[in-house]
């Protein structure tokens, strides 16, 4: 945020210099001989300044009240210059100089304050603050949300602000991407997918961002389908890879599809190719562990296994998995228990940047309160384990529809950035409603 204000300060300083330069250089020219009388000079200067103010008002930099105030100041200046025109030249020059600097100071202040006010009211200041707040919320240490009106309204406010900005400028691609990302952060994968697909259509296949948008759309639809490779997901993957054969998200999904078909060699090939452009989170939290698991399925030794001693045993592996675990004491808010039945499903899962959970447990409301442990034995897929991540997001959701995908009316609680290590214990209370 400091960088933003430094840039604004530099730009305002440059603008003030440009605005006041004509007035400043006038002081150096005031002693030039001319056939025009001092009175005519004063009138000419007055008209010049008035024209500048009128231009500022026309451009929207000055409102009517400020314009009138500055105009009165100019008129007073003109009147003072005329009254003192007959005085000795040194006194007249001194008064005019003081008046010049006063006018320049007033104009500079009005310009700066007016610009900042306009930015706050019409610009992206509020949205930028919301964006930083959302970004910070993903980096803070985990704290269960205590009330329904704390975390969720931040996303809602951000979406309202983004939609308002997009209504004014529908071609702003950065805000479209931010809107899609916000929907995804909320768990509304259907809306996120629709926005990503719209972005891809707006960009067109010639744009470098098309493949990433299509891959993100495929990822969201994969979630909507309950993490199944339905035709619409495969079509989106194909579209992304046709434009960019190294698009990492599309390759990860393609590898998942091959793995589920037990085509482990093809899955490894897709994930190896994804390494070219994959980010650190994708690489560490999914791609490397997935490749290692696929190689194990093929009976191939991974680099780690090659340097391990032959005496490494299964109990040792289980002990290693036990070091990466999160203990959760889970319950539902008494205020919300009346909204559900004992047979309603409860999904508890850990994620780390990717749509596939690293660990998951399925319960029923009648099981609550309960203490569970998320570790590698609860891996949703053998290619992705909680021990492969350093930080995860934990969500517990009562799914009224019975689907693991969040739908309106579901009850939930989420904590962000939980450290994955032995001895971590959380107390979670399901106390919010998906809007």
Mean pLDDT of the chain: 74
Same-domain check for residues 87 and 210: no
Strands in 411-419's sheet, in edge-to-edge order, are 359-364, 345-351, 391-399, 411-419, 432-433
Residue with tokens 């916000």: 182
Asked whether the beta carbons of 267 and 294 are under 8 A apart, the reply is yes
Same-domain check for residues 380 and 275: no
Q: Is residue 13 part of a domain?
A: yes
Domain of 425: which CATH number? 2.60.40
pLDDT at 232: 93
Asked whether the beta carbons of 410 and 368 are under 8 A apart, the reply is no
In the chain, the number of structural domains is: 3
Q: Is residue 383 part of a domain?
A: yes
End-to-end CA distance of the chain: 31
Domain of 174: which CATH number? 1.25.40.10
Structure token digits, residue 5? 């204000």
pLDDT at 214 over 90: yes
Same-domain check for residues 202 and 257: yes
pLDDT at 1: 47
> Which range, of 70-79, 114-123, 160-169, 205-214, averages the lowest pLDDT?
114-123
> Which range, of 37-51, 71-85, 273-287, 309-323, averages the lowest pLDDT?
309-323
* Residues whose CB is less than 8 angstroms from the CB of residue 397 and which lie 6 or more positions away in sequence, other chains included: 346, 347, 348, 404, 406, 410, 411, 412, 430, 434
- pLDDT tens, residue by residue, 189-202: 899 999 999 999 99
Same-domain check for residues 185 and 274: yes
- The set of long-range contacts for 181-184, using a CB threshold of 8 Å and a minimum separation of 24, is 182/134, 182/155, 182/158, 183/159, 184/220
> Which range, of 2-6, 281-285, 288-292, averages the lowest pLDDT?
2-6
Alpha-carbon distance of 385 to 420, in angstroms, equals 11
pLDDT at 7: 61
Q: Is residue 317 part of a domain?
A: no
Alpha-carbon distance of 25 to 420, in angstroms, equals 66
Same-domain check for residues 97 and 152: no
Same-domain check for residues 112 and 52: yes
pLDDT at 195: 93
Cα three-residue angle 181-361-215, rounded to 5 degrees: 30
The helix (run of H) or strand (run of E) holding residue 348 is strand 345-351
Q: Which residue has the higher pLDDT, 76 or 343?
A: 343
Question: Rounded to the nearest 10 degrees, what angle do helices 125-137 and 173-186 cross at?
Answer: 40
Alpha-carbon distance of 27 to 389, in angstroms, equals 68
Alpha-carbon distance of 290 to 325, in angstroms, equals 19
Same-domain check for residues 106 and 159: no
Whole-Å CA distances, 424 to 142, 378, 427: 12, 16, 10
- pLDDT tens, residue by residue, 388-420: 788 888 999 998 887 767 778 889 999 988 888
pLDDT at 277: 86
pLDDT at 292 over 60: yes
Q: Is residue 306 part of a domain?
A: no
Range of the domain at 92: 2-122
Same-domain check for residues 93 and 172: no
Q: Is residue 314 part of a domain?
A: no
């Amino acid at each position: 945020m400091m960088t933003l204000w430094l840039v604004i300060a530099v730009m305002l300083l440059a603008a003030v210099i440009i605005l006041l330069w004509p007035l400043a250089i006038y002081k150096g020219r005031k002693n030039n001989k001319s056939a025009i009388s001092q009175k005519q000079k004063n009138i000419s200067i007055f008209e010049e300044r008035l024209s500048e103010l009128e231009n500022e008002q026309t451009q929207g930099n000055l409102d009517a009240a400020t314009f009138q105030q500055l105009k009165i100041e100019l008129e007073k200046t003109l009147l003072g210059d005329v009254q003192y025109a007959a005085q000795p030249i040194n006194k007249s020059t001194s008064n005019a100089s003081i008046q010049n600097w006063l006018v320049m100071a007033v104009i500079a202040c009005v310009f700066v304050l007016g610009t900042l006010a306009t930015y706050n009211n019409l610009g992206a200041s509020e949205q930028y603050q919301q964006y930083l707040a959302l970004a910070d919320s993903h980096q803070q240490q985990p704290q269960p949300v205590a009330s329904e009106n704390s975390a969720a309204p931040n996303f809602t406010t951000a979406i309202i602000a983004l939609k308002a900005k997009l209504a004014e400028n529908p071609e702003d691609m950065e805000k479209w991407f931010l809107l899609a990302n916000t929907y995804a952060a909320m768990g509304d994968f259907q809306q996120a997918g629709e926005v990503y697909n719209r972005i891809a259509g707006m960009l067109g296949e010639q744009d470098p961002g098309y493949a990433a948008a299509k891959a993100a759309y495929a990822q969201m639809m994969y979630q909507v389908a309950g993490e199944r490779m339905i035709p619409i997901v495969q079509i989106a993957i194909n579209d992304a890879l046709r434009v960019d054969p190294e698009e990492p998200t599309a390759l990860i999904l393609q590898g998942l599809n091959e793995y589920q078909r037990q085509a482990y060699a093809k899955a490894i090939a897709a994930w190896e190719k994804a390494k070219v452009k994959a980010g650190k989170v994708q690489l560490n939290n999914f791609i490397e562990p997935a490749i290692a698991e696929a190689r194990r399925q093929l009976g191939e030794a991974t680099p780690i296994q090659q340097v391990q001693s032959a005496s490494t045993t299964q109990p040792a592996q289980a002990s290693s998995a036990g070091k990466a675990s999160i203990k959760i004491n889970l319950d539902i808010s008494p205020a919300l228990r009346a909204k559900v039945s004992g047979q309603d499903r409860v999904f508890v899962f850990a994620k780390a940047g990717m749509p596939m959970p690293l660990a998951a447990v399925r319960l029923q409301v009648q099981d609550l309160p309960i203490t569970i442990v998320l570790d590698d034995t609860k891996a949703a897929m053998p290619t992705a384990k909680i021990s492969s991540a350093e930080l995860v997001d934990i969500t517990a959701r009562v799914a009224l529809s019975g689907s693991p995908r969040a739908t309106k009316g579901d009850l939930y609680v989420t904590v962000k950035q939980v450290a994955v290590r032995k001895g971590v214990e959380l107390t979670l209370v399901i106390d919010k409603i998906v809007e």
